[in-house]
Amino acid sequence: MKTVLALAFSILTITGSYAQSPNADDQLLFAPDQPAPPEQPCITLSNKKILCGKADDSGSQLLSVFKGVQYGQAARWQPSSVFDEYEPNGYEALQYGARCPQPIWNPKDQLRGEEDCLYMNIWAPAGAIKNLSKLPVMVFFHGGGFMAGGADKAYHAADGEIIELYTGKSFSADQNIVLVTVNFRLGILGTLATDGITGQEPSNGGNYGLQDQQTALKWVQKHITSFGGDPDQVTIFGVSSGAMAVGLHMFSADSSKDLFRAGIMQSSAASYKYRNKEEGRDLFYFYLKCLRAAIRNPESDECALTAQLDDLEKATTRQILLAQALLQDHLFKKGVFLSALPGSIAFSPIIDGSFLKEQPNVQMEKGNEKPLMLGFNKDEGVLFANFIDATGNLNAVTFNGILGRDYENPMLIVGREGYGAQTPAAHGLQPKTPATALSNLIGNSVFACPTMSANIEREKPTNNTWLYFFAQTSVENMEKPPTNPKVNNVCGPQNQWGNACHASELPFVFNNMPPNSTEEDKALAVKMNALWAQFAKTPEAGPSKDWKLWTWPKIGNPSNFNVLQGADSDANFEDLFEQSDCAFWLGEIIEKNANAILIPKQLPQE
């Protein structure tokens, strides 16, 4: 069941590892020459419930940290609702809550995550809580292809050290921000369009993961004042699919728009076309057959010919995920993951006309009402291309097959420098290889060009959008390809360091750098962390107010844009637009629609 192309999808999980907390038994019980540890912080919420966390005095000011705060509750494939009815004697939020179920590929894989997974984590300056200071709030949505990941992510540094990533230590201690990170439902459990079939009310077209994010924002609106935050100063931000979620809340989910005031999109596939309601229904019917097969025989390699609706309720979490893997296998055999094609994300949100009104790129081109900061990294495509190439199954035949399946006019692509026989060396990769061509194709067509074009081609130009370009060398050691354990860094050129790959800006944004980082890297991380925070503080003015490090021009004048790099860079918007071949990708090329052709339109039989 596990195809080569299915391996590629695990590049989006970026699950990381976890650092083990010191054992309390190993700590000194009494040290007269040391200050007494800070008291445990406990706060009273607006509904009079008590929440207790941990004190953190390791940074520039004392923080109160609350991990594993349950914010929502939901039955399987039902919309979530705000949860805040904690135990009368107090709720201890001391460690991360369970992740939502992560993908498995065969019956022997360990089940990771739980369906009871709607937890958030909060970092706040202790003084702000005491004084009810009304600080700006930043709410972060993790990446993972809408299928994997969690708010507890850690990463492997180049020296092998495991470092917790999505923490608010720097945002809160150094920038006076209240930071919130969120778990939300993923994969088929987060996107299966069951409305109108199972009779659920209210309808949200299967967008359970996005609706969970909205539930978290509602919880923040209700309770963040108790943490010293201001519900009127909420900025949402995310990376990869988390950035795509930000775009959906900003440009498509009308019911979310009163829950935040600004957004930041890091490495978003800005022009991605999501499934519509009919296509979501087709996917649902096909998934039912896969679920029937997984229930009958966990070792099954094919979906069943018939289906039963009651399987949705009686199936175990493992059976649900095995059926998800069967459905993925069907999609991956079509090669859909290897492109920017609509439908290439196996389990993505659905434009149902209710919760999500329209494709977000349509509204984005009209102009955004809220302040927006967005950008991309220099070598976005390398991570994907190297990971797939490490399986040993990416060659000229498979690459050309991708082009022929995905585009109406594939010969226009292979005839251009960078995507065929004339492919030059790029991103540290060897010239004239399918991996280099695929890296160029993904980086340009999925990330660079849509990000730049979404902000210069508008019916009504706005003055509240800022663009960044991240070009600093990666410090994050991504996952090893499963079939090639000798490859320990799919972000680097020929397994070395030296690229600014997809998601490699994260340690800089959160200022959670390895201790042995260069002084240049450390300085850039401090600057980027402050710039992100400054945008949250003054989004209408952008990241430049009271900040002299860079000039942040608005997109209305794209002749200048911000380059995030430790050393001085002579990069400019026009050159980058040309180097990324954006005139071609935004004009001549015509995509096919995988949403309409990959899923058989067959109703289930009882």
Q: How many other CB atoms sit within 10 Å of the CB of residue 589?
A: 17
Which spans in 107-240 are helix H? 126-131, 169-175, 187-191, 208-223
Q: How many other CB atoms sit within 10 Å of the CB of residue 159?
A: 9
CA–CA separation, 184 and 217 (whole Å)? 12
Determine the longest span between alpha carbons in the chain, in angstroms. 76
Q: Supply the DSSP string of 102-125, one letter for each residue.
A: PP--STTSPP---S---EEEEEEE
> Looking at residue 20, what DSSP letter applies?
P
Bridge partner list, 162: 156
Q: Which residue of the set 10, 240, 267, 504 is catalytic? A: 240
C-beta separation of 160 from 519 below 8 A: no
Three-class SS state of 488: coil
Give me the residue label for tokens 């954006």.
582
- Whether residue 360 is preceded by a cis peptide bond, meaning omega within 30 degrees of 0, is no
Interstrand relation of 135-141 and 178-182 (parallel, antiparallel or unpaired): parallel
C-beta separation of 60 from 81 below 8 A: no
Bridge partner list, 52: 42, 92
What are the φ and ψ backbone dihedral angles of 49, each rounded to 5 degrees? -80, 150
> Looking at residue 445, what DSSP letter applies?
I
How far CA 316 is from CA of 277, 290, 301, 322, in Å, comes to: 26, 14, 18, 10
CA–CA separation, 289 and 477 (whole Å)? 38
- Judging by beta carbons within 10 Å of its beta carbon (0-12, 13-18, 19+), is residue 25 exposed, middle or buried? exposed
Residue 97 in tokens: 């809550």
Instruction: Report the interhelical angle of 241-251 vs 208-223 (nearest 10°).
Output: 70
Known catalytic residue: 255?
A: no
Nearest to 146 by CA among 76, 213, 228: 213
* Catalytic machinery residues: 240
